[in-house]
Structure 1
Amino acid sequence: MTSGNQVTLAVLNPNGRDPFVDYSDGPGEHCPGVHPPVNFHAYAAATNGAFYDSVEAVLADRERFDAVLVLIRRRCWITLKAVQKLKAEGLTVLVAWKECGPFQISEQLETTKALQAYAEILVLADGILSPTKVTPPRWGWIPSEEFWRKVRFVPTPYPLEFKAWDFSVPIEKREGILVGTREFFKPTRNHLRTLARSATLAAQLKLPVTVINGDKTRGRKMLHNLEASFPEGSLRIIEGRRPYDEFLRLVSSHRLVFQLDRSAVPGQIAGDALLGRTLCAGGNSSIEEEAFPDFCDGRTKDLEAVYEKVARVLTDEDEYKKAVTESQELGRERVSFGAVAGQLARFLVDLKAV
């Protein structure tokens, strides 16, 4: 229960696909078939809580938790029913969009039924958690002052202080750039422009570039068409998904993750870069703003300056090591499990103070 920076959180995805995971003993180690302690599972793992898929299971364990974080999805009315049941039982309820980028939220609020349920959720919830710095929209009859009292940005945490989640490889074994985006057909991902700039960097700096094909046959055709933009033999295309631990080692084997994503999402690829003890540059995600501010377009608003910094760390070993050290320090200070658990505890205290 809440004491100082200590808080225990249940995270509930009502009627969701992910099964129960108990984080009483923290994040543990990577285990095949078990959801890693990232994204919304991370809020539970950072607080030694648990992840649930049913209201009844949460209520059975209610004495463990200071609050329940209920995830909102496209069918908002499912979340509304869960919030109503939890509030009727006297629990403190926070809510957050599962797909929480501003463009993602707009796509999900496309029916009057969803909008009506969302408006009721905002009134009932004790707090509204936003994993992005672009807060969710106020809708319905909740007063503006009440909405802004309830809402708070709390970044998704990463287990940076746990040795089992250090996926770094020695710096001398890192090579080239990993493209952080993989979707051609979501405009806000800016994937084509990322590839175009990566081709320029590959030619200027004589570095290899790795990209993961996320669009199956269509994506494969487009990537092979784009190979001509890269120096011969410098573009490596990876097909299919990898287990999370293998993916983190892939991330770490590169000197830098580069993307121009404009989705304003929480920033899992930036968090993955932190776990791989490497750099992430170019996007506007919240984790990038927290841990990689000098490389984040959200802070500088000047991509040319970002490109210059990228070139500098890719060609100067001392600058690279300095940037990695600084990002790790910022990561531990702002988005580590301990740091975010403290933010959650303060959030709950502030909500109850009114």
Structure 2
Amino acid sequence: MRMMPISSILPGMKLGKRIYSDEGIVLLAEGVELTGNLLRRLSEKGIHYLYVQDPRTEGIEAPELLSEETSRRALQTLRSVFRDLVDLPGKRHTGTYPYVGKTVRQLMHHVLDDLQRNRDALIMLMNMHTVDHYLYMHSLNVCVYTVLLGMAHGYGSDELMTIGLGALLHDIGKTQISMNVLMKPGRLTPEEYDEMKRHAERGYYLLKDEPNIPLIVAHCAYQHHERLNGTGYPRGLKSYEIHEYAKWIGIVDSYDAMTSHRIYKDPLLPHQAIETLYAGSGTLYDTSMLKIFRDKVAIYPVGISVILSTGQTAIVVDINSASVHRPIVRVITDENGADLKVPYDLDLSKHLSVMISKIDAGPSDR
């Protein structure tokens, strides 16, 4: 299968990878024929890329970081917990809700079990989901990516549990933000943006007295938008004042926000998001943390089309964990754009004279 911009997909093509709702329920199974109406509805749901079947890419499978069961359990748990908090009488900022800690701890055990089985896994785009409620999938993505970074950094099991909880619940304060602001399909006004920024403080107050949640987790919610140079919010903390876990979560939160499907914004591809993050190296984000992050991100997703320095078009087949910038690709055209009768695989880590020039965004990009 291959990953294509939805604008380049023609009616009659078949879906290569299933699409999920925000509850983790399969909406469209692989093999479904994509009609013009389906493509339009998916685009309206905020999906900008799809995996489609292509005989030339047979055998190319995008790996999953979590099992289907864990992913579904996680989204259902987050939906249930977050919606219960939205419905709190008067939306109080104090009081304890022990079920939150117990429930999310159970979930984190499943997430850690999945990720521990493949500690060398790279950060890669998660399953395709509609964005009826972006918050659930974003929280899960940030949790998974942060735990993978924690493993690469060398954290132990207790530390991974704590930073994982911090990442999973970093945006829990958004349950206390007006839905009109949270779900607005466009740019926020200055007043609305001020309201949105309050989610960090409100998350802290929701979590700080939870008996089953370490206090550090509450500070992750409080500090994940703080930046090294003091330009973050809500308190304008500087480098040494920001907890290490919150620094990791801040990087991942920004990355996932840039690469996720949003109704009002096209997502960036991983290599574009990495470039944006590096623009803030040393000022917004810790440089040493960014280096570990860069080395753990599969910047060219499996299945995506790329243009090589030779002028040929290729599809990413697999990622070289030791050299994420130089994946294994399947060359499908010659330098003039003509389809090859027999496509062939090329390991760019072994053919150093050939490089990826750019992502192939479709016919207009050739």
TM-score (norm 1): 0.29
Q: TM-score normalized by structure 2?
A: 0.29
